[in-house]
Amino acid sequence: MSAVTPDWRVERATATSRLAAVVAIVALIALAAAPAWAGRADMRLLSEIFTYLALACLWNLLAGFAGLVSVGQQAYVGFGGYMLFAFAILLGVNPLLTIPIAGILGALIAVPVAVLIFRLSGAYFAIGTWVMAEVFRLVFAQVSALGGGSGTSLPVAVVKDIAEGRDMREWIVYWAAFLLVVVVLGGTYWLLSTRRGLALAAIRDSEVASESLGVRIWRTKLMIYVVSAGATAMVGALIFLQKLRISPDAAFNVNDWTAYVIFITVIGGIGTIEGPIVGVIVFFLLRETLADLGSIYLMILGLVAIVVMLKAPRGLWGFVQDRFGIELFPVRRRIRYPLD
Amino acid sequence: MQWINAIVQGVLVGGLYALFAAGLSLIFGVMRLVNIAHGDLIVLAAFLALVVMQTLGLGALESLVVVIPLMALLGYVLQRGLLNLTLGSDILPPLLVTFGLSVIIQNGLLQVFTADSRRLNAGALEVATFNLAGIDIGVLPLVMFLAAVAVIGVLQFIFYRTALGRAFRATSDDADVARMMGLDNRHIFGLAMALSLAVVAIAGVFLAVRTNFDPASGPARLIFGFEAVIIGGLGNLWGTLAGGVILGVTQAIGAQINPGWQLLAGHLVFLLVLAFRPTGLFPRIAG
């Protein structure tokens, strides 16, 4: 006699999520083909959206899932950017190759950093990450080979390493950004569907309860911190490959690489995979319409984030999810019986 | 002699850092709130002093008579109207709301006062010095240091010798039991924030007399204050003063070696403390 097959199974997918997957694939194909239909300015904007989406997704992984609220992710954006310049200018490495190198080195340097700042708990951890970013900024400002405090530009010869023609170069940078955001989003989704993802969700819901069930909290958090640091460094290298110029103040800017990213995630919906996607769309819509207002625009953004945090702490997407029970990237598991 | 001079100046600056830290430490002690906008509130107080001096024709230190009550009132309103709504077991809302507040204050100041860097003029006091055993000591830095000691002494007195302090300590120990004993936590938290911003007002004016400031100066003050708190040990006000002095002296020594290392040296001593004495040098409460 064969073993009794259970009359239930664990599923994550829903009808909506299957539909969402189809829509997502169509959208991905259209975006991959952007060089065929989009102008130069549109592609630049899309690349920027991709990098912000990747950063928001990674910050969300830290704060929304691992409970590690960092206001110092600019440390890794800047670090990645500087690795691009260091390897491309000083060692003659192809700029595209520096992106994975930046990722590996970013992850490596994140280990000792984490060991130190994990000693701070909760909100003090947040400020600790900021101090770290300051340390990174001050150290890179001392490296005269990379322009010291005033920064440096990527030489034309190095830029031509990517591709000879300007069009081809812009396409390659666009595709790199596209590939990176797909990997980051896909990787996050994959990670959250695995055992470790389950552990992460347990930690998010209750540290005490998950620890008593055998989840190794410190190790899981360390892994998430290191992975997201490495990926953030890759995004950083890519951002400065788009800009072609770096300086300590631009590379380690708390507004550009952390404040915006936090606002995107909080407004979209912290702790959900869909949140950063919704947030990045809202953020760029606001920016394209209100950017002329300058500092008032930033005040509005801060105000919106505060109101969302108080009135709908799980953001726009959390609101939709609670209301309609929709999950486009399902990471929650549900038990299905044959009856339904 | 140069070195001794640097160390003495560092000690005196440490008093200012302790003032940055005291307000931060106070509200963390009472309600476990870390205010990311703390540094920006210090800069806001400095701009407020600037306006008060211009409109009322007061001197820099006299402006405190107006700035302290205004900032305290702002603290109470801010706490009752906004920050009380964020308190709870989740650390995310207070952190993100004060972060949003920080961005709003910075850009609001930028909008009103432009990015120009300012300084408050304290008159003859600014350049007055006296010579002690071959070391030139500025009167103003000394006044600031003594004021910092006095502020911390007063806070210590309020905390351990008054009914208000008893209420602060009770809510800090157990907010729910304190409420059962008839304390109105929302009001107590409001008073704690008012006290914190009164200290912020003093810190802001002293900062503005000592160095140039602009709307973007806030985050660095938050970081110095935070480092002083952690070096000194959580929940210990005299420890915070010691932390500020250690930070000031290390920065002065770093600057003496190489001007580019001033800030880096301060961060380094903070990281060393974190590595070897994670609870700080003189801890009193657990995080």
Residue B200, domain CATH:
1.10.3470
Residues A138 and A201 in one domain: yes
Residue A298 belongs to a domain: yes
Residue A114 belongs to a domain: yes
Residues A215 and A173 in one domain: yes
Contact B97 A295 (CB under 8 A): no
Radius of gyration of chain B (CA): 19
Contact B99 A259 (CB under 8 A): yes
Residues A144 and A199 in one domain: yes
Beta carbons of A175 and A34 less than 8 angstroms apart: no
Residues A118 and A188 in one domain: yes
Q: Which of residues 111-150 of B touch A (CB under 8 A)?
A: 111
Residue B109 belongs to a domain: yes
Residue A333 belongs to a domain: no
Residues A247 and A259 in one domain: no
Of all residues in chain B, the percent with pLDDT exceeding 90 is 67
Q: Which of A138, A265, A270 to mutate to test the interface with B (most CBs of B within 10 A)?
A: A138
Residue A192 belongs to a domain: yes
Nearest Cα to Cα of residue A327 among A271, A280, A285: A271
Q: Which of A252, A274, A297 is the last residue of a domain?
A: A252
Residue B285 belongs to a domain: no
Q: What angle do CA A66, A46, A290 make, to 5 degrees?
A: 85
Contact A122 B34 (CB under 8 A): yes
Residues A210 and A273 in one domain: no
Residues A145 and A270 in one domain: no
Tell me, what's the pLDDT at A66?
87
**Which residues of A are less than 8 Å from B89 in CB distance?**
none
**Which residues of A are less than 8 Å from B34 in CB distance?**
122-124, 126-127
Tens of pLDDT along chain B (287 residues) come to 788 888 999 999 999 999 999 999 899 888 888 899 999 999 999 999 999 999 999 888 899 999 999 999 999 999 999 999 998 878 888 988 999 999 999 999 999 999 999 988 887 777 788 888 778 888 889 999 999 999 999 999 999 999 999 999 998 888 888 888 888 889 999 999 999 999 999 999 999 999 999 999 999 999 999 999 999 988 788 999 999 999 999 999 999 998 888 999 999 999 999 888 888 888 775 44
| Amino acid making up residue A95 | P
Query: CA A220 → CA A25, A106, A191, B81, distances in Å?
Result: 31, 18, 12, 38
Residue B286 belongs to a domain: no
Contact B274 A301 (CB under 8 A): no
**Which residues of A are less than 8 Å from B264 in CB distance?**
135, 138-139, 142
Residues A163 and A202 in one domain: yes
Residue B282 belongs to a domain: no
Nearest Cα to Cα of residue B3 among B141, B134, B144: B134
Nearest-angstrom CA–CA distance, A174 and A178: 6
DSSP string, A190-244: HHHHSHHHHHHHHHHH-HHHHHHTT--HHHHHHHHHHHHHHHHHHHHHHHHHHH-
| Amino acid making up residue B226 | F
Residues A310 and A197 in one domain: no
Residue A22 belongs to a domain: no
Shortest distance between the Cα of A296 and any Cα of chain B, in A, equals: 7
Which residue segment(s) compose the domain that B30 sits in?
Answer: 2-276
Report the run of H or E that residue B10 belongs to, with start and end. helix B2-31
Contact B95 A313 (CB under 8 A): no
Which residue segment(s) compose the domain that A301 sits in?
Answer: 255-328
Nearest-angstrom CA–CA distance, A87 and A94: 8
Residue A281 belongs to a domain: yes
Contact A135 B264 (CB under 8 A): yes
Residues A195 and A260 in one domain: no
Tens of pLDDT along chain A (340 residues) come to 456 666 777 777 777 778 878 888 888 888 888 888 888 888 899 999 999 999 999 999 999 888 899 999 999 999 999 999 999 999 989 999 999 999 999 999 999 999 999 988 877 898 899 999 999 999 999 999 998 888 999 988 888 888 888 888 889 999 999 999 999 999 998 988 888 888 887 887 778 888 888 888 888 899 999 999 999 999 999 999 999 999 999 999 988 899 899 999 999 999 888 899 999 999 999 888 887 787 888 899 899 999 998 988 888 988 888 887 777 776 666 666 665 4
Nearest-angstrom CA–CA distance, B25 and B28: 5
ipTM above 0.85, yes or no: yes
Shortest distance between the Cα of A223 and any Cα of chain B, in A, equals: 20
**Assigned token pair, A123:** 């909100």
**Which residues of B are less than 8 Å from A254 in CB distance?**
219
Pairing outcome for strands A245-246 and B129-132? unpaired
Residue A158 belongs to a domain: yes
3-state secondary structure of B24: helix
Tell me, what's the pLDDT at B131?
81
Number of domains in chain A: 2
Residue A300 belongs to a domain: yes
Number of domains in chain B: 1
Nearest-angstrom CA–CA distance, B26 and A23: 52
Q: Which of B32, B90, B92 to mutate to test the interface with A (most CBs of A within 10 A)?
A: B92
Beta carbons of B39 and B221 less than 8 angstroms apart: yes
Report the run of H or E that residue B36 belongs to, with start and end. none
